Structure 1
Amino acid sequence: MSITENGETQNISQRSPWGIEDVDVDAYFARIGYEGPRDTSVDTLRRLHRLHLAAISFETVDIGLEIYTPITVSFLQEKFVKRGRGGCCVEHNLLFAAVLEALGFNVRRYLGRVRRGDSTTVRFRSHATLVVEAEGRHFLADVGFGDEGPLFPVPFAHDGRITVGEWTWRLVHEDEDRDVWLLQSLHPDGWFDVYAFGTETVAPVDMEVSFYYTATNPRSVFTGHITAQRGEDNVRHVLRDHTLRTLHPDGRKEEELLTTEQVLEQLRERFLITLSEEETASVREYLNIER
């Protein structure tokens, strides 16, 4: 038994290892603008998925500033909901999973290998993703991949597909013996491998190790950079330090070099990231260092 902050007793053994008891569903709903039913329907899952992506961007400001943070639900609640920040895949999907489980959804957490079009290089299992059951069906739910991630849950079946705006995604059961699944997005020149994942059981410590590597290892694509990504119906935006790339469904790409103040404006206006005065000063100092 333990004593909570309000003096009530609590059986520790009954707590979820993922800390879902710490999620404030009301505050989260206010953050993403959800006012619908609190059931476990497919429609509720789809609406929550889409609203989360619309309100909270993928971003690595803390990683770029070499600030290592916890990934507990209580901390993610404070960072994402109270402070108006975003985060990387582990942060997004752990918080989203906690909300879904608090509503009664059955959620499985997995770790996958990012490909981004490269099927030959074997990368570390760094990407967190979810499989969610709703109304007897299963869906890949992923609010944390950034620009290339699905805007709605994808049916968890071979050749399960969704189309949103001008983007299309599908799942492929790539290796049935090892139960490996591959998420692809449709590009003008064909299917593009996004990431692959297996259905091995993942524990909280596995997520911690994955996040630690992503946030601190010099070989990580995110260390040493401030990144923000956002996907919309007909356009994708990727900010990396001073460079803003805009990607279109027909394959067109635009690239713009920004000043430090323009980067801060983009973080605030396009990516909807709220930075405190101290965080703004730190980002400004980081961006003004010649690299």
Structure 2
Amino acid sequence: MFEVDVAGYLARLGVLDEHHPSPHGLRALHRAHVERVAYQTVDIHLGRLTSVDPRASADRIVRLGRGGYCLVLNGAFGALLDALGYRMRRHRGAVLIRRDRPAPALGNHHALTVHDLPSEDNPSGQWLVDVGLGDALHEPLPLVAGEYRQGPFTYDLRPSPTLSDGWRLGHDPAGAFVAMDFLSEPAVPADFAARHIELSSAPNSRFVQVFSAHRRDATGADALRGCVLSRIGTGADAGPRELARREEWFEALGDIFGIGLGDLTDADRERLWRRVRTAHGVWRQGRSPEDVIKPAIRTGLIA
């Protein structure tokens, strides 16, 4: 069983231990996490089913320099907050990608809240904490209904219109998704295990179909979808561009997103690139990713 390497995790984030929970410390940890530990799906596109255990996820961030998607990132961050003494709770959530699609099942997102941490601007002491939403939060939000601005994005936090006891975080129209709902009822890591297997391996999963990476900073967010690199916010003037060469694609993973790939062999890198490039070609042809990805996995064309 892994234990959280608190010193190693804080060193990875470049944050000093304040030795007691504080609003300042929570903000610093959150900012550093979304800036230094990118949201990404490398292991999914290598066909590797990683553990969703929070301590194992934290170990991968420290040891490999690689995080994952929401179930991994918020799981690990929650383990770090707990080890540092924050009153943290986990919650089952669901991310709505498009308004014209049905609401997804609860458990496809791992939400976090922190409690009993009052500040001058948040006397309630309750915070929405989420380092697993890609291009969304740069800092925690007071768990109080209202509109909040961070960099180029405006968020709307309200009671959920679909959950009788829950909250909805509405994303900015420029963002990668519409909203995230989560139940107020606390959850445990085991509540996400089955969904993690499905989201990481099912051919109809959007995580399996298209590679994605996101990194948030104070002035905007970088995104890589398949082979298309884009940015929202400061520095976005150049617009999206296609990374058509293998070398520039891997350079972007390291230089822009800070994704550690030191554990990958040359064969791993080639397999990853071949799969990403195949899915990108499907997208350019306007075909359904499932029509190509599913048979390609079955026949071994891509792993």
Letter of the structure 1 residue corresponding to residue 232 of structure 2: L
**1:236: which partner in 2?**
221
SS in 2 for 1:275: coil
Between the aligned partners of 2:268 and 2:241, the Cα distance in structure 1 is 23
- For 1:286 and 1:241, locate their aligned partners in 2 and report how far apart those are by CA, in whole Å: 11
Match of 1:156 among 143, 146, 170: 143
Matched, 1:132 2:119: no
Structure 2 counterpart of 1:155, which letter?
P
TM value normalised by structure 1:
0.83
Q: Name the residue aligned to 1:98.
A: 79
Distance across 2 between alignment mates of 1:131 and 1:87: 20
Larger proportion of helix: 2
* Superposed displacement of residue 239, structure 1: 0.9
**1:1-291 alignment runs, 5 A limit:** 22-118=3-99, 121-125=102-106, 126-133=108-115, 134-135=117-118, 137-147=125-135, 149-159=136-146, 161-175=147-161, 178-187=164-173, 193-248=178-233, 254-258=239-243, 259-276=245-262, 278-279=264-265, 281-288=267-274, 291=278
SS at match of 1:200: strand
Distance 1:34 1:65 in 2: 31
- 2:10·2:17 contact (CA, 8 Å) conserved in 1? no
Unaligned runs of 5+ in 1: 1-18
Task: Supply the distance in 1 between the matched residues of 2:180 and 2:54 (Cα, whole angstroms).
Answer: 25
Q: Which moved more, 1:27-36 or 1:170-179?
A: 170-179
Instruction: Give, in angstroms, the shift of residue 137 of structure 1.
Output: 0.8
- CA–CA distance in structure 1, aligned partners of residues 248 and 236 of structure 2: 25
Structure 2 unaligned runs (5+)? 119-123, 279-303
TM-score by length of 2: 0.80
* The structure with more strand, counted as a fraction of residues: 1
Letter in structure 1 aligned against 2:214: Q
Q: Distance in 2 between matches of 1:58 and 1:272?
A: 10
Please report how far the alpha carbon of residue 166 of structure 1 lies from its aligned counterpart in structure 2 after TM superposition.
2.7
CA apart distance, 1:234: 2.6
Counterparts in 2 of 1:252 and 1:72: CA distance versus 1, 3 Å: same
Q: Percent identity?
A: 28
C-alpha contact (below 8 Å) 2:166/2:183 kept by paired residues? yes
User: In 2, distance between residues paired with 1:90 and 1:204?
Assistant: 9
- What is the aligned partner in structure 1 of residue 286 from structure 2? none
The whole-number CA distance in structure 1 between the counterparts of 2:141 and 2:25 is: 14
Give the whole-Å Cα distance in 1 for the aligned partners of 2:210 and 2:161. Answer: 34
Q: 1:63–1:224: 8 Å Cα contact kept in structure 2? A: no
Q: How many residues align?
A: 268
Compared CA separation, residues 127 and 172, structure 1 to 2 (3 A): same
SS at match of 1:31: helix
Specify the code of the residue in structure 1 equivalent to 2:128: L
Task: Render the CA deviation track for 1:4-58: whole Å, top value 9, x for unaligned.
Answer: xxxxxxxxxxxxxxx8x81111111111000141211111111111111111000
CA deviation after TM superposition for structure 1 residue 245, in Å: 2.4
Structure 2 distance, partners of 1:214, 1:253, is: 33
CA RMSD of aligned residues (A): 2.6
